[in-house]
Amino acid sequence: MTEPAAQILDGKALAARLCQRLQSAVATLKGEYGQQPGLAVVLVGDDPASEVYVRNKGLQTTAVGMLSFAHRLPADTSEAALLKLVRELNQDDRVHGILVQLPLPPQIGQPAVIAAIDPAKDVDGFHEVNAGRLMTGATVRALVPCTAQGCVMLIKEHRGGNLAGLEAVVLGRSNIVGKPVAHLLLEENCTVTVAHSRTRDVAEVCRRADILVAAVGRPYLVQGSWIMPGATVIDVGINRVIDDAGKARLVGDVDFASACRVAGAITPVPGGVGPMTIACLLRNTVVAACRQRNIEMAAL
Ligand code: GUN
C-alpha cells in the first residue's frame, strides 16, 4: 500500500484551539463585563441524529463557560407554538444566540422560523439579513454560517492567510454550506466556481481547483482522479453507509483512499469539518454577545 501523500487537516485539534480562545474570552466577558454569553438550542421532534447534535452542542457550550438553554418540543408542535418560543428567546436577555435545529417536521415552515429569529441572535447565520451582509461583503457585521466558517479556517491552516487568486471549486449550492462558503472564498479573493447536480462534466471542473470544497451529501462522489495534485480538499459530507463487513460507518463526499494520494491536504470524516462547525457556533455566540452589549473584543 502506498503512503498517503496528503497532509491530514485535523479539525478536532483546530476546533480545540479555537475553543480554548473562546473559553478565555468568555472568562473576560464574565470577569470584566459581568456578561455570560448564552446559547439557546431548540429541537422539535426526536430525530436521533439531531438529538446527538443538540446534546453535544449543550455540552460544549457549558465546557467553554457559556450558558446553555435546551428546548425540546414534541414532533407535533405547531408552527405558531415554535414562533412563540422564538419570539420569547428574542426578548430574553440571558440568550445571545438562538439555534433551531433543522430539519423541522413538515407542518412547520422553515423560512418562517428563520425569519422570526432576531438577526443579532441568529448564530446559524441563516437569516436573510445575515446572508445579505455576507453576500455584499459586510462580513464583519454578519453572523456567518458555522460550517462555512469552519471550512475557510481549515483551508487557511493549509494555505496560510492569503488565498488571493487561487481557483476554488465548491460542490453544492445549499444555503447552509455551498453558497456561504463560496461568498467567503470570494471575499478572500479566490476565483470561485459553484458546481452542482446540473453542472456539465463536474470532474473536469473539479480538476482545476486549488481548493475543492465538497458539500453535496453523496458518499464517495469525488474521486482521486478529479483532484489536482497538491489541492486542498475540504470534505463537508457526513454520509451513513453500510461497509463491506455490514457495519454502519460515516463517510464523506470524497473517496478518501484515492483522494489522499493526490491532494496536498484533506479533511477526514469524521474529525475534519464536523468539530469546526460546533466551535464556530460557539464563536458566533461570543461574537453575538459582544455586539449586543457593545463590547470590543480581540479577533477570535
Ligand atoms: N442541521 C444540520 N446542520 C445544521 C446547522 O448547521 N444548523 C441547524 N440549525 N440545523 C442543522
- Check residue 95 and give its pLDDT: 98
Residue 2 has pLDDT above 60, yes or no: no
Which sequence spans correspond to the domains of the chain?
A: 34-118, 145-275
Mean pLDDT of the chain: 97
State the average pLDDT over residues 52-79: 97
State the average pLDDT over residues 132-154: 97
Whether ligand 1 lies within 6 angstroms of the CB of 278 is answered as: no
pLDDT band at 235 (very low <50, low <70, confident <90, very high): very high
CATH number of 145-275: 3.40.50.720
Closest ligand 1 atom to Cα of 124:
7
- Check residue 3 and give its pLDDT: 60
Whether ligand 1 lies within 6 angstroms of the CB of 101 is answered as: yes
- Check residue 7 and give its pLDDT: 98
Q: Can you point out the beta strands (E) in the chain?
A: 7-8, 38-44, 67-73, 97-100, 167-171, 191-195, 211-214, 232-235, 239-242, 248-251, 265-266
- Check residue 187 and give its pLDDT: 97
User: What does the block give as the cell for 162?
Assistant: 492569503
Q: Do the domains spanning 34-118 and 145-275 agree at the CATH topology level? A: yes
- Check residue 284 and give its pLDDT: 98
Distance 49 CA to ligand 1 centre (A): 11
Residue 287 has pLDDT above 60, yes or no: yes
- The catalytic site residues sit at 57, 101, 124
Percent of the residues in the chain that have a pLDDT greater than 70, as a whole number: 99
Closest ligand 1 atom to Cα of 277:
6
User: Of all protein residues, whose CA lies closest to atom 11 belonging to ligand 1?
Assistant: 102
- Check residue 270 and give its pLDDT: 96
State the average pLDDT over residues 260-278: 98
Distance 4 CA to ligand 1 centre (A): 32
Dihedral Cα 295, 128, 76, 49, nearest 10 deg: -70
- Check residue 5 and give its pLDDT: 86
- Residue type at position 177: V
Q: Supply angle C-alpha 5, 164, 288, rounded to 5.
A: 95
Tell whether domain 34-118 is in CATH 3.30.70.270: no
**pTM above 0.95?**
yes
> 488565498: which residue's cell?
163
Q: Which residues, at least 6 apart from 86, have a Cβ–Cβ distance to it below 8 Å? A: 42, 98, 100, 113, 116, 117
pLDDT band at 299 (very low <50, low <70, confident <90, very high): confident
How far is 45 from 28, CA to CA, in rounded Å? 36
**222: DSSP letter:** B
How far is 101 from 288, CA to CA, in rounded Å? 18
State the average pLDDT over residues 107-114: 98
Cα 46 → chain centroid = 22
- Check residue 262 and give its pLDDT: 98
- Check residue 60 and give its pLDDT: 98
Residue 153 has pLDDT above 60, yes or no: yes
- Check residue 92 and give its pLDDT: 98
Q: Could you report the per-residue pLDDT of 169-212, keeping only the tens digit for each?
A: 999 999 999 999 999 999 999 999 999 999 999 999 999 999 99
Q: Could you report the per-residue pLDDT of 204-233, keeping only the tens digit for each?
A: 999 999 999 999 999 999 999 999 999 999
